Amino acid sequence: MEETQNFETPAQFAPAPKKKINKRFLYLIAFIVFLGVAFLGYSVLGSNKTSQSSQISQTPTPTEFIIPSDTPIPTEKVTDTPIPTEEISETPTPKPTQNPVDSSTGLDRSGLTVTVQNGSGQSGVAKTGVDYLTNLGYDVSSPENADKEDYTGVTIQVKSTSNKYLTLLKNDLAKEYTVSVSTSDLADSFSTDALVIIGK
């Protein structure tokens, strides 16, 4: 009789079921790792900046030493004499006391704007000139100081566009002052039509 062998088929083991990893748990771990890296990076960078700033602040500033010498050092001469300046009054400019229109030329003096500057070094000179020209009817701005204080006589400059007023202005000023220079070469960029510098 034939022997039949009964082979038992080995039991197949099913693989262990995979546990599902909770995604929230993975996100939490990733977030904690990110925070740790960020904290470490900040602390390393912060300590570098602190050490650099402490090194910078601890660097001593070199001291300048003045070594005496036998050669005298020239110094600027200081004078005790104050330089006179024009005082600008807060009072309104007076109105002209006469008709601003010149009877012989027909020119209206109020059509010429004038700047008066003190070129004498004496206080109040430009203010007197402003009052004189204003009384004649000219449109005069506040008094100013000239670029230097050694002008002689009165210097008159008008713009080329206001050349027709040069003779009238010169004649008006000649009644009170000695006019030494009168030209029509005032720069077009100047703030008024005419410049009068009153010197010594």
pLDDT tens for 18-55 read 666 678 888 889 999 999 988 888 887 776 655 555 55
125 has pLDDT over 70: yes
What is the percent of the chain where pLDDT is above 70?
64
87 has pLDDT over 60: no
pTM over cut 0.85? no
Q: Could you tell me the two tokens for 114?
A: 């004038």
How far is 151 from 148, CA to CA, in rounded Å? 7
Query: Residue holding tokens 């039509």?
Result: 193
Q: Could you tell me the two tokens for 93?
A: 């400019």
The ranges assigned to domains in the chain are: 22-53, 109-198
CATH class of 109-198: alpha beta
To which H or E segment does residue 131 belong? helix 125-136
115, 192 Cβ separation under 8 angstroms: yes
Q: Could you tell me the two tokens for 164?
A: 């027709």
Q: Cα torsion at 35, 41, 46, 49 (round to 10°)? A: -160
Return the pLDDT at 133. 92
Query: Residue holding tokens 């546990």?
Result: 19
- Which amino acid does the sequence have at 16? A
118, 146 Cβ separation under 8 angstroms: yes
